[in-house]
Structure 1
């Protein structure tokens, strides 16, 4: 029998949150100091590039960009010189399509195999969530788990995952093993802590060697209520970003800044609302989630390591 706590690909998420709630004290970020590299960093972004899911302009409810495109922009905001390799299309073409094709399994294996063959990657971003309630995980494993002691049981939970040979958990196990093959090669692997609240944990967090990133609010002073907050989370970065209009010198709308770099990350002409006057009364949207704090953390680390190569 497999653990019922495992999530099939239909429950795997990379959707951002659209709100925030109560806040709690901040955990200190991990500091990284590195000698500047000379080659542009190469990053694998394993995400959903297959369909538009995020609404950027304020004039309608029609999605404008894919989740993967948004994640990519947060890396570029910190390191514009980064070479992004897009990996993933998690959306089935039809409802009858095998769910294996609608998951990160293939993308993770491709990156793992490429690294094993000697291909260079400087980091991997994985803003994907397989959420589980901590109390359910405790029942499934038999361990007295709490938010505070998850890290103490991480190795035991990891070993249970890896030893489970049940058919229903085969896909998750394959994903888990691919992640660990990547981290074993020394490639930094960034995982979103998850947007399901502080009583849940992203099961990918238990893979050995991953960096688990939680979300801070827009002021970077407090933890966002939606963010997972447990002892597995080892990094905190801003996850709440207002979407700001960008205009030219004549006051014409040219695009939208979604990551705080004051640049047009999404051109107005490419949105469903097209180009409208900046005096239009459309209320701005926002981007919220550990989906975005994760690439923000990765981008900051790239800038620290690669310096001028990042274009900063």
Structure 2
């Protein structure tokens, strides 16, 4: 019996680190299919055209991937678990975001998360505050927003979101948001939130598009070029977005698949770009940096082929 007790303790010690090796991420965004009341077929098609981000097979029909689906794909890693909080289509997006953040915070006791990712923005002109911005004066900028809200109720949802972001930070959650895509003259007011990590683009070519100011904490890859992948025998697998030679978007998910997709573009245009897609890259780096590298054995690294969804070849 003592031997069995010792063996049991050893097994528990071996199992617990692996069980705790991963991190949990809540993503607030718009996912396919859109959340909200059931819509007619025509309304569903309209939503897909409005919210779809990619037409990889060039058939004039958007693939079933909305903004949040692509954010999750970029952040994806075997050691990260995602909880998706959809932005509803039946209320203003900022109101839905505030409600979701409140729900995440209310659930922390029974569904804890390590990070919250909000690839969304509520931006305005930097010149409305001061040029240039100063990180040390973020509290002053927030106070100015509060004054605006007293006479213009449209800022109330933004302030509600900022308060929820700060409450999550105070609860020990890593909160990541975006610099915004209005160019150098704009600022995402969510970056005024105390303790929030704001992510911009690392590519200098996007300086005219992605905001960059003193409140940007870090910069990551913000442009992603889809590439058609094939297996060694020439069988088409799907499209790789992240550059790891895995079919992030399998062939079967393309809108033209049921019609027998043929002559697929090797490198569809335009690319996916924006600080929305830099933020998930930052979340992945931040969380993986804090995990035990010794427990990474068997986990796929970039460029490795570990299953049917991965291939080492770009289609010829």
Larger radius of gyration: 2
Superposed CA RMSD = 2.6
Distance (Å, rounded) in 2 between the aligned partners of 1:86 and 1:268: 24
**How far did 1:233 drift?**
0.4
1:185 matched residue in structure 2: 171
Q: 1:169 aligns with which of 131, 155, 163?
A: 155
Tell me, in whole angstroms, the C-alpha distance in 2 between the residues paired with 1:100 and 1:289.
19
Higher relative contact order (CA 8 A, sep 6+): 1
C-alpha displacement of 1:252: 2.4
Structure 1: any 5+ residue segments left out of the alignment? 1-34, 93-97, 139-144
Alignment counterpart, residue 297 of structure 1, candidates 270, 275, 282: 282
What is the match of residue 98 of structure 2? 105
Instruction: Give the secondary structure class of the aligned counterpart of 2:247.
Output: coil
Matched residues in 1 for 2:140 and 2:242: separation? 38
Q: Which runs of 5+ in 2 are unaligned?
A: 1-16, 35-46, 302-316
How far off its partner does 1:159 sit?
A: 2.7
Pairwise CA distance, 1:39: 3.1
Q: 2:133 aligns with which of 137, 144, 149?
A: 149
Q: Tell whether 2:42 aligns with 1:42.
A: no
Q: Which residue of structure 1 aligns with residue 312 of structure 2?
A: none
The residue number in structure 2 matching 1:82 is 80
For residues 126 and 289 of structure 2, the distance between their equivalents in structure 1, rounded to whole angstroms, comes to 35
Q: CA deviation at 1:273?
A: 2.8
User: Relative to 1, partners in 2 of residues 1:237 and 1:37: Cα closer, same or farther, differing over 3 Å?
Assistant: farther
Contact 2:57–2:254 (Cα < 8 Å) also in 1 = no
Return 239-248 or 222-231, whichever deviates more: 222-231
The 1:307–1:262 alpha-carbon spacing in structure 2 relative to 1, beyond 3 Å, is: farther
Q: 2:291 is paired with a residue of what secondary structure?
A: helix
TM-score by length of structure 2 reads 0.74
Write the deviation string for residues 59-115 of structure 1: whole angstroms up to 9, x where unpaired: 223221111110001111xx32211000122423xxxxx436863121111112222
The residue number in structure 2 matching 1:129 is: 121
Name the structure where helix makes up a greater proportion of residues.
Answer: 2
Match of 2:58 in 1: 59
The corresponding residue for 1:259 is 242
Cα distance in 2 for partners of 1:192, 1:37 equals 31
Shift of 1:303: 1.6
Q: Taking structure 1 as reference, are residues 264 and 152 closer, same or farther at Cα in structure 2, changes over 3 Å only?
A: same
The match for 2:194 is 208
Residues 125 and 189, structure 1, Cα contact 8 Å, conserved in 2: yes
**Count of paired positions:** 258
The 1:247–1:186 alpha-carbon spacing in structure 2 relative to 1, beyond 3 Å, is same
